[in-house]
C-alpha cells in the first residue's frame, strides 16, 4: 500500500511510484504496530489548573464494556495526513496500570477531484516606505463669469461709442448736407394733381448714337407706304455700312418690310442682310410676353416654306441696347449655287417700343451665310461681321 503525501490518497499497487492526481511521489505506508509508542504532535503537559471534579457516573454494563480495553484490528489501515497529523493521546491507566490507547476515527476517503491551478502570489515588497496622504486641495474658482462680465462690458462700451459717434459726428453732417425745406403755398391745380396720381410707364430713351465713319443713316418715312405698313407705321432709324445696298422695293406700296439693307458678294450672293418689319403689340415686353411663342410659331412656318432644311435651334428673351425683346434663331442650307452648298443662319427679334399702349412693335430679321468670313455659326449673327453696328444704332423715334 502506498500513499501520496500531498493529497493523502492511498494506492494499493506497491509498484506505482507517482500520484495520478497531482503527480506527487508516493511513499510506502508503514504497518501498524500496536506495541509501538505513539508520539503526540504537541507536548503532553498537564494543564496548570486541574479540571473540575465530576461526580462518578453510575456504572452500567455499557460503560463497563466501553472501559474494557479493546484489541486493535491489525488489518485496519490508519491514514494520516502530512499537513494535519492526528494526535493519539493516552487515556488514564486502569487499576491494573495498563495503558489504554484511544484511536481517532479514520478520516473519510477523499473524493477524487480535478487539480486546482496553483496561483502564485506576487512577492510583497520588503520595507515599503509609507506614502503620506496629501491634504485635499481647495477647488479652484472658475474664471468664466469674470470673462463673460468683461466681454459684456466691452460690448456695452462699443455700442455706446458707436452711438456717440453717430449723434455727435455723422448726424450733424447729414443735417448740413440735407437741403432745408421751402415753404410754399400750393395752388388749386397742384392740390388736384397731388390727390390723383396715375402711374404712367415712360419710354426708355437711348443715348445719342455716334455714327462711325463710312456709315449711312436710314430714317423710316410714311411717304410711300400703303396697306399694313401704313396702318402699323413705326418711327425708327439706324446706321448701316456705306458699302451695303438698300433694297429699293422695301418701304414702297405692296412691300412687306419698312426697310432692308444687304451686304453682297458679287455678282449677287448674300453675306449679311438686315430687314425691319412689324407685329401687333401692346407696347411693353411684359404685355407681349404671352404672345411671343405664338409669333415664333407663325413666322417660323412662313420661313420654313422659303428656306430649305429649315430648323429652329433656340428661342428666348434678349436685349437690343436697353430695350427688352424676344428672339429665335434658325439654320438652313442653300444647295447647288455657283459657290457650292451654302449654310444659312437666321435670327429674328420681336422688339416692343417700351411704351404702354403702342399697338405696333418692330420685327428685326437678320440673315447671314457661310460666305461672310467673320461668321462660323448661328450664334455669330448680330454679334460678328458688320451687322452689329446696325443693332447698336437702332432707335425708335420720339412721339410728338
Percent over 90 (pLDDT), the chain: 42
Given the C-alpha cell 434663331, which residue does it identify?
Answer: 329
pLDDT tens figures, 231-270: 999 999 999 999 999 999 998 888 999 999 999 998 889 9
Read off the C-alpha cell for 331. Answer: 439654320
User: What CATH number should be reported for the domain whose range is 215-396?
Assistant: 3.40.1000.10
pLDDT mean over 196-205: 47
Does the structure show a pLDDT above 70 at 285? yes
Distances in whole angstroms, Cα of residue 352 to Cα of each of 46, 282, 294, 327: 141, 8, 15, 12
pLDDT mean over 219-223: 92
Q: What is the pLDDT of residue 172?
A: 73
| DSSP H stretches of helix in the chain | 61-67, 144-165, 171-177, 188-195, 227-231, 285-288, 292-306, 388-393
Q: What is the pLDDT of residue 75?
A: 41
Among 4-13, 174-183, 193-202, 373-382, the range with the most confident prediction by mean pLDDT is 373-382
- C-alpha 395/C-alpha 320 separation (Å) is 10
pTM for this model (two decimals): 0.51
Domain positions in the chain are: 1-38+80-101, 215-396
Does the structure show a pLDDT above 90 at 198? no
User: Who has greater pLDDT, 17 or 79?
Assistant: 17
Q: In the structure, what pLDDT confidence band is assigned to residue 6 with cuts at 50, 70 and 90?
A: confident
Does the structure show a pLDDT above 90 at 301? yes
User: Who has greater pLDDT, 282 or 106?
Assistant: 282
pLDDT tens figures, 144-156: 888 898 988 888 8
Q: In the structure, what pLDDT confidence band is assigned to residue 204 with cuts at 50, 70 and 90?
A: low
Burial class (CB in 10 A: 0-12, 13-18, 19+), 33: exposed
CB atoms within 10 A of CB 395: 20
Question: Whole-number mean pLDDT of the chain?
Answer: 76
Amino acid at each position: 500500500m502506498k500513499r501520496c503525501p500531498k493529497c493523502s490518497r492511498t494506492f494499493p499497487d506497491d509498484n506505482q511510484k507517482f500520484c495520478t492526481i497531482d503527480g506527487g511521489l508516493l511513499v510506502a505506508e508503514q504497518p501498524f504496530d500496536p506495541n509501538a509508542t505513539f508520539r503526540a504532535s504537541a507536548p503532553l503537559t498537564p494543564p496548570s489548573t486541574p479540571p473540575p471534579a465530576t461526580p462518578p457516573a453510575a456504572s452500567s454494563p455499557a460503560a463497563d464494556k466501553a472501559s474494557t480495553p479493546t484489541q486493535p484490528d491489525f488489518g485496519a489501515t490508519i491514514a494520516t495526513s502530512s499537513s494535519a497529523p492526528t494526535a493519539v493521546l493516552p487515556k488514564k491507566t486502569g487499576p491494573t496500570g495498563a495503558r489504554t490507547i484511544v484511536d481517532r476515527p479514520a478520516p473519510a476517503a477523499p473524493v477524487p477531484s480535478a487539480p486546482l491551478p496553483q496561483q502564485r502570489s506576487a512577492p510583497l515588497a520588503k520595507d515599503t516606505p509609507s506614502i503620506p496622504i496629501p491634504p485635499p486641495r481647495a477647488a479652484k474658482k472658475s474664471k468664466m463669469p469674470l470673462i463673460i462680465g468683461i466681454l459684456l462690458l466691452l460690448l456695452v462700451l462699443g455700442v455706446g461709442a458707436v452711438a456717440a459717434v453717430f449723434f455727435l459726428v455723422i448726424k450733424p453732417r447729414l443735417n448740413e448736407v440735407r437741403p432745408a425745406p421751402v415753404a410754399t403755398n400750393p395752388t388749386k391745380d397742384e392740390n388736384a394733381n397731388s390727390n390723383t396720381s396715375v402711374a404712367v410707364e415712360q419710354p426708355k430713351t437711348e443715348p445719342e448714337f455716334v455714327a462711325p465713319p463710312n456709315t449711312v443713316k436710314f430714317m423710316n418715312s410714311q411717304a410711300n407706304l400703303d396697306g399694313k405698313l401704313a396702318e402699323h407705321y413705326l418711327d425708327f432709324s439706324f446706321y448701316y455700312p456705306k458699302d451695303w445696298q438698300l433694297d429699293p422695293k422695301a418701304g414702297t406700296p405692296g412691300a412687306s418690310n419698312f426697310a432692308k439693307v444687304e451686304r453682297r458678294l458679287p455678282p449677287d450672293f448674300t453675306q449679311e442682310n438686315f430687314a425691319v418689319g412689324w407685329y401687333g403689340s401692346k407696347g411693353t415686353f411684359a404685355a407681349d410676353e404671352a404672345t411671343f411663342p405664338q409669333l415664333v410659331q407663325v413666322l417660323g412656318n412662313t420661313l420654313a416654306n422659303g428656306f430649305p432644311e429649315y430648323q429652329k435651334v433656340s428661342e428666348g428673351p434678349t436685349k437690343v441696347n436697353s430695350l427688352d425683346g424676344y428672339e429665335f434663331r434658325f439654320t438652313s442650307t442653300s444647295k447647288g449655287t455657283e459657290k457650292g452648298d451654302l449654310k444659312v443662319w437666321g435670327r429674328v427679334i420681336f422688339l416692343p417700343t417700351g411704351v404702354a399702349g403702342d399697338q405696333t412693335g418692330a420685327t428685326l430679321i437678320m440673315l447671314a451665310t457661310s460666305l461672310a468670313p467673320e461668321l462660323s455659326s448661328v450664334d455669330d449673327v448680330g454679334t460678328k461681321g458688320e451687322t452689329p453696328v446696325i443693332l447698336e444704332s437702332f432707335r425708335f423715334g420720339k412721339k410728338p
